Amino acid sequence: MDDNFSSFSQITDEEFKFIKDLMYKETGIFLADHKKIMVQSRLNSRARMHKMQNVSEYIRGLQADRKFFQSELTELINRITTNKTDFFRENHHFEFLKDTFFPSVEEKALKSGKKQLRIWSSACSTGEEPYTIAITCAEYFMHKPGWDIKIFASDIDTNVVQTAQEGIYKADRLEPVSEALKKRYFLKVKDLSGKNQDTYQVKPEIKSMIEFYKVNLLETPYPIREKVDCIFCRNVIIYFDKPTQKKIFENFEHVLKDRGLLVIGHSETLFGISEAYKFLGHTVYQKKPKI
């Protein structure tokens, strides 16, 4: 550590406003005032990494040096975005897939003759959500041959997308996963240090179901070029203001098939935000067909 670096330097209200405006412009994320301490902490680590004396010097660098700004922007976004996730988080959503949604997809396939399923995990974080979706699909369609299933997984944070692609997790991350599923879909491996710790990797047959992307939900067109049957966007829109929320759900309309599923987080709602989706219950919505 640089001896001249303050162990924890504070940012002024003006500096916080600069970061707040920058994050809103680049990502649509609205940083409430109570996030100032969190921002201070995460910017301190970036300033320390660059051997700067304090956060003020780091922010001045972003403001004055275009080259530094461009090289640092992705890392800055990575540091400030929140990535809380678990396997089988809000499990009622996966039960809904198995009990209600997948049977309806099968019914459509009988009429169309097209056994195809596309699901997008639009804020995949470190991968627990798309792998849970893939496992849920694998379990349901295990004895139903001929299905073409693809899961798209994306996040704005390039670091977590890389972690997700690796599909390696410590044993404590797999606590929500039953022993039967763990045995069926994970391999015990050495950790990154080469030691035989309790570390697991998602099996290749599950990983092969998923395509990973870096996606900023505000930037269209999205790299997902196929219409999807279901979009997971859970515990994300709480970080956006209402106009941005409206824009994102509008964007989703172009990617989602008619009567496709939209799944959001337990503390979120589309009430007063979009009329394009019908509420099915338990933060599950269905895109209304075009008249």
Residues 234-255 pLDDT 10s: 988 888 889 999 999 999 999 9
Mean pLDDT of 113-126: 94
Query: Which amino acid is present at 280?
Result: L
Q: Please tell me the number of Cα atoms within 13 Å of 5 on its side-chain side.
A: 16
Q: Which of 46, 118, 155, 157 is catalytic?
A: 155
pLDDT at 291: 66
Tokens of 284: 């599950």
What values do phi and psi take at 22, rounded to 5?
-65, -45
pLDDT at 2: 42
Instruction: Write the DSSP symbol of residue 240.
Output: B
Domains and CATH numbers, the chain: 13-80 (1.10.155.10), 91-287 (3.40.50.150)
Q: Please tell me the number of Cα atoms within 13 Å of 259 on its side-chain side.
A: 5
Active-site annotation holds for 89: no
Active-site annotation holds for 42: yes
**Does residue 268 register a pLDDT over 70?**
yes
% of the chain residues with pLDDT over 90: 57
**Does residue 168 register a pLDDT over 90?**
yes
Q: Which of 42, 60, 173, 184 is catalytic?
A: 42
pLDDT at 1: 37
**Does residue 5 register a pLDDT over 70?**
no
**Does residue 106 register a pLDDT over 50?**
yes
CA distance to 148, 164, 179, 199, 202, per residue, from 174 (Å): 27, 14, 9, 9, 11
Rounded Cα distance, 4 and 58, in Å: 14
Residues 178-213 pLDDT 10s: 999 999 999 988 766 666 568 999 999 999 999 999
Pairing assessment for the beta strands 116-121 and 228-233 based on DSSP bridges: parallel
What values do phi and psi take at 167, rounded to 5?
65, 35
Tokens of 265: 């987080």
The contacts of residue 19 (CB under 8 Å, 6+ apart) are 11, 31, 39, 43, 59, 80
pLDDT-wise least confident of 8-12, 114-118, 259-263: 8-12
Task: Give 8's pLDDT tier (boundaries 50, 70, 90).
Answer: low
Mean pLDDT of 7-13: 74
pLDDT at 134: 98
pLDDT at 78: 77
More confident: 163 or 290? 163
Residues 50-85 pLDDT 10s: 888 888 889 999 999 888 888 888 888 877 876 668
Model pTM? Answer: 0.83
Are the CB atoms for 284 and 277 separated by under 8 Å? Answer: no
How remote is the C-alpha of 140 from its chain's centroid?
A: 23
**Does residue 6 register a pLDDT over 70?**
no
CA distance to 17, 22, 192, 198, per residue, from 195 (Å): 45, 41, 7, 9
% of the chain residues with pLDDT over 70: 93
Rounded Cα distance, 195 and 133, in Å: 30
Task: Give 124's pLDDT tier (boundaries 50, 70, 90).
Answer: very high
pLDDT at 11: 84
Tokens of 262: 């939209």
Whether omega for the bond prior to residue 221 falls within 30 degrees of 0, making it cis, is: yes
Task: Give 3's pLDDT tier (boundaries 50, 70, 90).
Answer: very low
